[in-house]
Amino acid sequence: MFFKWRSFRRGVVTCACEPEWPGLRAVVDGHEVAGVPSPEGSSPLVLMLGLSASCTGCGAEYPYTWAVAPRG
């Protein structure tokens, strides 16, 4: 696995929505995938595919760890 180690985050974009981060989404091969915040760290799928999540409201890039939401 390849990880991006960052000792600090420059230019972290905050969400403009109220409340912040109403939902997360990523795009994989033209298909939208729902995401959820993950305090335990990003899921293996997210890390292996190098996915980045964005806010469903304003489109800001999510700077923290996240995982693909379960279907259902």
**Per-domain residue ranges of the chain:** 24-68
- pLDDT score for 66: 96
- pLDDT score for 48: 94
Alpha carbons 37 and 23: distance in angstroms, whole number: 9
> In the chain, which stretches have pLDDT less than 50?
1-2, 5, 7
**Distances in Å between the alpha carbon of 57 and those of 25, 49, 60?**
10, 24, 8
- pLDDT score for 13: 67
| Cβ proximity of 37 and 66 under 8 Å | yes
The backbone torsions φ and ψ at residue 30, rounded to the nearest 5 degrees and listed phi first, read 85, 0
